Structure formats: structure tokens, C-alpha cells
């Protein structure tokens, strides 16, 4: 089968947030284009996780805001001597049934801000802490997290969306810093933040009414383009922030 993200011997992959649109697309793409023997697909939805496993996909309960949950996944992988060469973090929160992105500082709500940071930034940090040590020390390996262009400080011209913007900027900084540390023990490991574009998923659904049809991507299209970006990455690109079309986004 064809190389997936430039890893010809991809024997194991971990997709965090696999129940969401893009996460699901990544799982399906790996199934269709690789001979990977095992795909760990995580979600915090217990009912989804308890559904019977099929083929190479193994569902695992995981909540990125719960360190014990992430530690349990890491221990599970250790017990099976699994060293994933690909980890994709597709989790994220932009809105909730009782909360939407702030349009002004007058809408600041501490509980909501904490909830957004817990998922988008701190959750990424916990994944770095527990899962990167399991990745191979030699050979090509990739750890990416889905960020957002609105997390770019340099590109912020519209304002608003305080918590989401700030949490994604923090997520990017965690990835950048982790990439520097990883150079010493895993010189071929690539870490990157990726902007998937505006994708037709539950996360973006309330905000797509004015998006031009050619700018609203299907999860499958976004996954395909992100996979192409990952395939082109080298260790020299580790720690950078890329859009779905391969362009570099300013911090």
C-alpha cells in the first residue's frame, strides 16, 4: 500500500478524538491506504467506545481533560509494547450548548474560559507528556494536533473569540516547545500544529452560514490535504504551524 504521511512501515497509529468528523476521516483513510495492523481510536463517549471493535480499529475511552484517562491509555500501550509512529490529536472545543465564542471582553466567563483551555491547550500538553515518550526514538514519526488559524496572533485582525484564540495560541506554544525538547532524544520525530480549514463538522456548524461553498471542506477532503502536508514534512519543520494547503502560518 502507499505510504501514509511518509511512513511506509506504519504499524500503529493513535487518533485522539476519532468520533469527530476529521478524526473519523483519519481512521478511515488509514484503513484504506495502509496495512497498519492497529489503529487506536479514542473518544470520551463511553457508548461509542463500547461498540464492538472491527478489524484493525480498537476503540478506547479517553478524555483529554483527565490526566488519569490519558495515563491509562499510555499504560495500555506500554503493556502491549506498542510504539505508535503516528499520533493525531483531533480534539477541540469552540462552543457548547450553553456557551459560544465571546464577541467582546464583556462576555468573559471564567468557567467557560477554563473549559476551553482544558481541552484545546492543557489536554494537548497532557498528550505530549504521556504519549510522546512511547514514540520511537529512531525513524520517522509524527505527532500533530489540529489547531486553527484564529490562534495566530499575527493574523488576528477581526478580534473576538477570546478563549478559543488564546487556547489555540497556547496549544501552538506547547507544540513548539515540545518540538525543541524532543530533538535531543527523538531527532526524527516531527511535531506540528495543523489548520484543517473550515470543515463541515459539529464544531464549526453554527458558524458556517456565510462560508462560501468552496471554502467549506468535507472532513474527507481536509484529511486528504492534511495527510499531504504531513507527508511533505521533515524534522526541520518540527514545531511549525501549517495550513491545510501546506502554507506556513505566522505565530
Nearest to 241 by CA among 198, 190, 200, 201: 190
pLDDT value, residue 213: 72
Q: How many residues does the chain have?
A: 251
Taking only the tens place, the pLDDT of each residue in 79-99 is 988 899 999 999 999 988 888
The per-residue pLDDT for range 132-153, each reduced to its tens digit, is: 999 999 999 999 999 999 999 9
Cα dihedral across residues 39, 44, 49, 50: positive or negative: positive
In this structure, what C-alpha cell is assigned to residue 2?
A: 502507499
pLDDT digits (tens, 9 = 90+) for 143-179: 999 999 999 999 999 999 999 999 999 999 999 999 9
Q: Locate 38 and state its grid cell.
A: 492497529
Phi then psi for 194, rounded to 5 degrees?
A: -125, 135
Domain positions in the chain are 12-243
This prediction has a pTM of 0.93
Q: Provide the CATH topology of domain 12-243.
A: Rossmann fold (3.40.50)
pLDDT category at 1 given cuts 50, 70, 90 is very low
**Sign of the CA dihedral running 247, 30, 211, 240:** negative
Q: Which long-range contacts (CB under 8 A, 24 or more apart) does 46-50 make?
A: 48/19
pLDDT at 34: 86
If you average pLDDT over residues 8-17, what whole number do you get?
92
Supply the DSSP string of 92-141, one letter for each residue: --S-BTTB---SSGGG--HHHHHHHHIIIIIHHHHHHHHHGGGS-SSS-E
Amino acid at each position: 500500500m502507499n505510504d501514509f504521511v511518509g511512513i511506509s512501515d506504519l504499524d500503529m497509529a493513535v487518533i485522539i478524538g476519532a468520533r469527530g468528523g476529521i478524526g473519523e476521516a483519519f481512521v478511515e483513510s488509514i484503513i484504506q491506504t495502509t496495512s497498519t495492523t492497529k489503529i487506536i481510536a479514542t473518544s470520551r463517549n463511553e457508548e461509542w467506545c463500547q461498540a464492538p471493535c472491527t478489524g484493525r480499529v480498537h476503540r478506547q475511552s479517553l478524555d483529554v481533560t483527565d490526566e488519569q484517562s490519558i495515563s491509562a491509555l499510555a499504560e495500555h500501550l506500554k503493556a502491549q509494547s506498542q510504539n505508535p509512529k503516528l499520533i493525531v490529536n483531533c480534539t477541540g472545543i469552540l462552543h457548547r450548548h450553553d456557551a459560544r465564542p465571546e464577541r467582546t471582553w464583556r462576555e468573559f466567563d471564567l468557567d467557560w474560559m477554563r473549559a476551553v483551555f482544558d481541552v484545546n491547550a492543557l489536554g494537548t500538553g497532557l498528550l505530549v507528556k504521556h504519549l510522546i515518550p512511547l514514540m520511537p526514538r529512531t525513524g520517522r514519526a509524527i505527532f500533530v494536533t489540529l489547531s486553527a488559524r484564529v490562534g495566530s496572533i499575527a493574523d488576528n485582525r477581526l478580534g473576538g473569540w477570546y478563549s478559543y484564540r488564546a487556547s489555540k495560541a497556547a496549544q501552538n506554544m506547547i507544540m513548539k516547545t515540545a518540538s525543541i525538547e524532543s530533538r535531543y532524544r527523538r531527532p526524527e520525530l516531527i511535531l506540528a500544529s495543523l489548520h484543517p480549514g473550515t470543515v463541515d463538522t459539529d464544531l464549526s456548524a453554527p458558524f458556517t452560514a456565510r462560508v462560501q461553498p468552496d471554502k467549506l471542506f468535507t472532513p474527507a477532503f481536509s484529511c486528504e490535504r492534511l495527510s499531504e502536508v504531513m507527508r511533505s514534512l521533515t524534522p526541520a519543520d518540527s514545531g511549525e504551524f501549517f495550513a491545510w494547503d501546506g502554507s506556513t502560518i505566522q505565530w
